[in-house]
A and B are shown apart, each in its own frame.
Chain A
Amino acid sequence: MKHLTEYRDPELVEQYIQELHRTATRPWTIMEVCGGQTHGLVKNGILNLLPEFVTMVHGPGCPVCVTPVNLIDKAVYLAEDKAVILCSFGDMIRVPGSTKSLLDAKAGGADVRILYSPLEAVRLARENPDREVVFFAVGFETTAPANALAVVQAQKLGLTNFSILASHVLVPPAMEAVIQDDDTHIQGFLAAGHVCAIMGIDAYGPLVERYKMPMVVTGFEPVDLLQGILMVVRQLERGEYRLENQYARVVRPEGNPEARRIIEQVFETVDREWRGIGTIPGSGWAVRLELAAFDADRKFSVSIAKAPECPDCIAGLVLKGIKKPNECSQFGRACTPERPLGAPMVSSEGACAAYYHFSMSELVND
């Protein structure tokens, strides 16, 4: 696996760790925004290699985790319609709605399919003209181009039985919401590399200036993560704040213009509710009105009563980096990946699940 192994090189990792130990002279709190980065930090055991001065807090960048209960209820409702084939990315299907998950619905006879690509759902729609195919289009800016492309394809093919239930969320507004929260004490950010690969890095400059906070666009492999952390710590130690790009091998400043164009064609910016956090202005994408025929929300005019969140779950505090997963009284007790109380325990990108699966915790689960 060329282009991967060099970013997992143990010697290089060791050098970065030592450099971090030399560089950090005071306590610093840094948030990694993306769930993929959280996963990388925990899976590789990096958190317990970092100097004591460096505290990583885990951001809201897990699309599965922030999808509102209400929308999962809608997906379940649609899936239970015998005419519907409900397609979803894998880790979405275990997330609990107010009464059940898509996995529960599947066990009860609903036709729920796990796909890797929304274009597969378009194919299914072609092959099953007598069924309605709905793709549960969840994700950050990263999955939006493929989801948008599926809509464009379906339109080109003249399909009338394909639609998407879209719940796209955007990273920069969420970062700003986290910064503005009085209870967070974040001093620097690792920005999400793959999101920037699509959208470019323009959106972050103003945040750096407004909040005087270093931000480093960072990749996902051990060497990437450590290099990104080191770049943030260096700025903090010198009292600087700049936008830097650690992940330049993938992220161009302008992002991917073709992907941005197709997103623009299909989606428009809207206010979006984030599970556990609340509504963040301008933080989501919905299908444009002129493409309403491909928007499951409008097409089926599903109206589901708003369900309350589980009162014991502190997902909101975890997603904003105010609490660590293992500081929750329910963590590993009432809330486990088998019976999650909140979404961060479901997706492997979720901070709670990452801690549960990989962390050296005193809990031995009998």
Chain B
Amino acid sequence: MPKLDFDIITLGHGSGGILTNKLLEAGVFDLLSNPLLDTHHDGALLNLTGRVAFTTDSYVISPVFFPGGNIGELAVNGTVNDLAMCGAVPKYLSLGFILEEGLPMAEFWDILVSIKGASERAGVQIVTGDTKVVERGKGDKIFINTSGIGELHPKADISIKNVRAGDKVVVSGHIATHGMAIMSVREGLEFETTLTSDTAPLNHAVLALLDEFGPAVHLLRDPTRGGVATVLNEIARDRNVGTTRLGIDLKQAAIPVLDEVAGACELLGLDPLYVANEGVFLAIVDPEVADAFVRKLRTLDYGQSAAIIGEVVADHPGQVVLTSRIGGRRVVNMLVGEQLPRIC
């Protein structure tokens, strides 16, 4: 960590004056250095070819440091994954900070180092950014916004319009791990666990799958907030899906959940289907290639536990229906508000 004169972030660091300059020159620019960022211009000039995907996301997680990561790598991975879900090769990110006065400089530095590591792992460059500081009490330590740009993979044809009855629903890994890792360190809920967040860049795996399976990959989604249940409901309820509205059948027994996660969910009265993920994606693929798709995915980073968990069906349009482990069937609905722990 470079010497930055101050132990904590002050309002001056967001003033645009000498402190801002020092913070950027001594810290951010050096650490994240690349030819586009090094121009220190008001914006970045990019060379792009073909169709381009563009996305943005804001990160407000509490606590900022959690088992398995921190807000910095989450902010990179999240936006990288959103681009990958479009079938794009992530190239460039913007990085906007809203810092709360009083944030320890050491924590800010740790977050920056994580951002650098995560962008290297994902193979993206941070090319432009912004830093603002708000008064103590007006923020929650640090908020980060990242926007991302990626070039569309030449073989990608990702669209909800391509989803057909008979398509298989694939999940790339154990679900609900991130949400339960965060939950284990939330104030008032702390419980002992070795769970760590699954935050990870999914672009390399996705691009390898697109290389091999191209347009047989009909749809990709990352089930972050609201979890798998929410994303699948969005798909089932989408008016653009295929030619007619479709339903989704899920097999509970096929859905990969770590024992420890299942146990924590059980204790807290939560349903893993609604718990957030950061290193998992859902793919809806042509049934012809589904088995090969899963075999391939299992050889790729973060895909070892991939499984076919369900199927797109013509029955019960608009609804996601789960066959429970014991063979009963029930509707999996949209999550209403926050998932609240039950009394007993």
A interface residues with partner B (beta carbon < 8 Å): 1, 4, 8-10, 13-14, 35-36, 42-49, 63-64, 89-94, 103, 113-116, 120, 138-140, 142-143, 194, 222, 336-338, 347-349, 356-361, 364-366
A113-B188, A116-B268, A364-B318 are known contacts. Are A45 and B327 too (CB-CB below 8 A)?
yes
Q: Are A116 and B326 in contact (CB under 8 A)?
A: no
Q: Are B343 and A1 in contact (CB under 8 A)?
A: no
Q: Which residues of A contact B328 (CB under 8 A)?
A: 44-49, 222
| Cβ distance A320 to chain B, nearest Cβ, rounded Å | 20
Q: Are A90 and B330 in contact (CB under 8 A)?
A: no
Give bound CA distance, A35 to B337, whole Å.
Answer: 21
Q: Are B326 and A8 in contact (CB under 8 A)?
A: yes
Q: Whose C-beta in chain B lies nearest to the C-beta of A46? A: B328
Q: Are B336 and A138 in contact (CB under 8 A)?
A: no
Give bound CA distance, A114 to B319, whole Å.
Answer: 31
Q: Are B344 and A358 in contact (CB under 8 A)?
A: no
Q: Are B326 and A91 in contact (CB under 8 A)?
A: no
Q: Are A45 and B329 in contact (CB under 8 A)?
A: yes
Select the stretch in B72-80, B123-131, B211-219, B259-267 that faces chain A: B259-267
Q: Which residues of B contact A4 (CB under 8 A)?
A: 266
Give bound CA distance, A142 to B342, whole Å.
Answer: 13
| Cβ distance A143 to chain B, nearest Cβ, rounded Å | 6
B325 within 8 A of A: yes
Closest 5 CB pairs of A and B: A45-B328, A90-B340, A90-B341, A337-B336, A358-B330
B62 within 8 A of A: no
Q: Are A348 and B330 in contact (CB under 8 A)?
A: no
Residue among A90, A336, A337 with max Cβ neighbours from chain B (10 Å): A90
Give bound CA distance, A116 to B269, whole Å.
Answer: 10
Q: Which residues of B contact A359 (CB under 8 A)?
A: 330-331
Q: Are A45 and B330 in contact (CB under 8 A)?
A: yes
Indicate which residue in B321, B336, B344 contacts A360 across the interface (CB closer than 8 Å): B321
B interface residues with partner A (beta carbon < 8 Å): 188-189, 237, 259, 262-263, 266, 268-269, 316-319, 321-334, 336-337, 340-344
| Cβ distance B339 to chain A, nearest Cβ, rounded Å | 9
Q: Are B259 and A1 in contact (CB under 8 A)?
A: yes
Give bound CA distance, A336 to B337, whole Å.
Answer: 12
| Cβ distance B189 to chain A, nearest Cβ, rounded Å | 6
Indicate which residue in B327, B337, B342 contacts A347 across the interface (CB closer than 8 Å): B342
A1-B263, A103-B337, A120-B188 are known contacts. Are A44 and B326 too (CB-CB below 8 A)?
yes
Give bound CA distance, A43 to B333, whole Å.
Answer: 11
Q: Are A116 and B188 in contact (CB under 8 A)?
A: yes
Q: Are B343 and A138 in contact (CB under 8 A)?
A: yes
Q: Are B324 and A114 in contact (CB under 8 A)?
A: no
Q: Are B331 and A94 in contact (CB under 8 A)?
A: no
Indicate which residue in A1, A49, A94 contacts B266 across the interface (CB closer than 8 Å): A1
| Cβ distance B244 to chain A, nearest Cβ, rounded Å | 13
Q: Are A89 and B329 in contact (CB under 8 A)?
A: no
Give bound CA distance, A225 to B318, whole Å.
Answer: 31
Q: Which residues of A contact B344 (CB under 8 A)?
A: 35-36, 63, 139-140, 142-143, 194, 349
Give bound CA distance, A143 to B327, whole Å.
Answer: 32
Q: Are A92 and B341 in contact (CB under 8 A)?
A: no
Q: Are B330 and A43 in contact (CB under 8 A)?
A: yes
Give bound CA distance, A338 to B325, whole Å.
Answer: 29
A1-B263, A45-B323, A91-B340 are known contacts. Are A360 and B268 too (CB-CB below 8 A)?
no
Q: Which residues of B contact A364 (CB under 8 A)?
A: 317-319
| Cβ distance B11 to chain A, nearest Cβ, rounded Å | 25
Q: Are B330 and A93 in contact (CB under 8 A)?
A: no
| Cβ distance A156 to chain B, nearest Cβ, rounded Å | 21
Q: Which residues of A contact B342 (CB under 8 A)?
A: 89-91, 347-349
| Cβ distance B77 to chain A, nearest Cβ, rounded Å | 28
A1-B266, A8-B325, A114-B188 are known contacts. Are A93 and B340 too (CB-CB below 8 A)?
yes
Give bound CA distance, A252 to B268, whole Å.
Answer: 25
A143-B344, A347-B342, A347-B343 are known contacts. Are A10 and B330 too (CB-CB below 8 A)?
no
Q: Are B326 and A10 in contact (CB under 8 A)?
A: yes
Q: Which residues of A contact B324 (CB under 8 A)?
A: 43-45
| Cβ distance A139 to chain B, nearest Cβ, rounded Å | 6
Q: Which residues of B contact A42 (CB under 8 A)?
A: 330
Q: Which residues of B contact A142 (CB under 8 A)?
A: 344
